[in-house]
Structure 1
Amino acid sequence: MPKKGRFVIWGNKEYKIVNENTNNILIMTSDADAINSGFIDKYGSGVYTKWIEKEEISECYSIYPLALYKGNKFDVQENEKDGKFNLGTGHEEIAQELGFKAVDKYYFIKWVPKNEVEIIEERKVLSLD
């Protein structure tokens, strides 16, 4: 599944941002060993979280996954099934040319086998000020 969302580097590891306030960020991981670094599994779900101070992070960025398919870039949804990615676009001409189906007036989707798609990550540096 492609990675999507806002992330920080804390203690030389990447963590997803769950929440933030003026001075702190709530980060999460599914790594049970994170308990040794003060993370807690508040709901017994296998998701470990910890509040850290913004000054403790070394990087902050967003990741938006894109799919390269037939020479074009498309949105790639987080859901996968039967070895396929769900691709989407708002470009009607390209969508019609490649057999995408309309899901509303201005957006088109198509399920495409994973082996026909290259996933790339668009990263954008974020400021937490």
Structure 2
Amino acid sequence: MIKRGKYTSYNNKEYSIGKEGDDWVNLVSKDSKDLNNGFQPHPLDKAVFVKKVSRNKLDKIYKITPYAIYKGYKLSIGGETDGKILLGTGEVKIADALGFNRTDKYFYEKWIDNKDLKIMEEKEILN
């Protein structure tokens, strides 16, 4: 699974962040073991668990932006399914060199086997 969005560490474990308030965040987990740590089943999805935590109990909140390296090019990731990753670019020369299809006026995409690329992450500290 490719991580994207806001994350934090809480009790030495990384969690994604759901809803946020001025002084709190909802930590999101898919690990049922977190029920033992005060997490509750999400009302709309029982396979997801949430816990409201005060911001002052968190060290850092950061944003993760995934990208892929494919044939030497840094490309955006649009999605994933069945061992394939949807890569995209707005640069015509790169799209032409890699055989991407135009999907919008200024954007090109192509599904690539996961084994043919390297997935990387950029982390930006938000607080």
Give the TM-score band, short-chain normalised. Answer: over 0.9
Gaps of 5+ in 1: none
Corresponding residue for residue 110 of structure 1? 110
Q: Which amino acid aligns with 2:84?
A: K
> TM-score normalized by structure 2?
0.94
CA distance in structure 1 between the aligned counterparts of 2:75 and 2:46, rounded to whole angstroms: 33
Unaligned runs of 5+ in 2: none
Percent identity of paired positions between Structure 1 and Structure 2? 34
**Aligned partner of residue 99 in structure 2, secondary structure:** coil
Name the amino acid aligned to 2:122: E
Q: Which one-letter code corresponds to 2:108 in the other structure?
A: F
| 2:121 equivalent to 1:121 | yes
Could you state the TM-score of these two structures normalised by the residue count of structure 1? 0.92
> Deviation string for 1:92-114 (max 9, x for gaps)?
11101110000011000011111
1:10 aligned to 2:5?
no
| Distance across 1 between alignment mates of 2:120 and 2:42 | 33
For the aligned residue pairs, the C-alpha RMSD in angstroms reads 1.1
Query: Could you tell me which residue of structure 2 aligns to residue 58 of structure 1?
Result: 59
| Offset from partner CA, 1:2-39 (integer Å, 9 cap, x none) | 11110011111111000111110011101111111111
Deviations 1:65-115 (A, max 9, x none): 10000111001123223x221100111111011100000110000111111
Q: Corresponding residue for 1:26?
A: 26
Corresponding position of 1:37: 37
CA distance in 2, matches of 1:27, 1:55: 14
SS of structure 2 residue aligned to 1:22: coil
Q: Which amino acid aligns with 1:74?
A: L
The number of residues matched between the two structures is 126
**How far is 1:42 from its partner?**
3.3
CA distance in 2, matches of 1:23, 1:84: 39
Give me the whole-angstrom Cα distance separating, in 2, the residues matched to 1:116 and 1:126. Answer: 32
Distance 1:114 1:12 in 2: 29
What one-letter code is carried by the residue in structure 1 that aligns with 2:36?
N
Q: SS of the counterpart of 2:42? A: coil
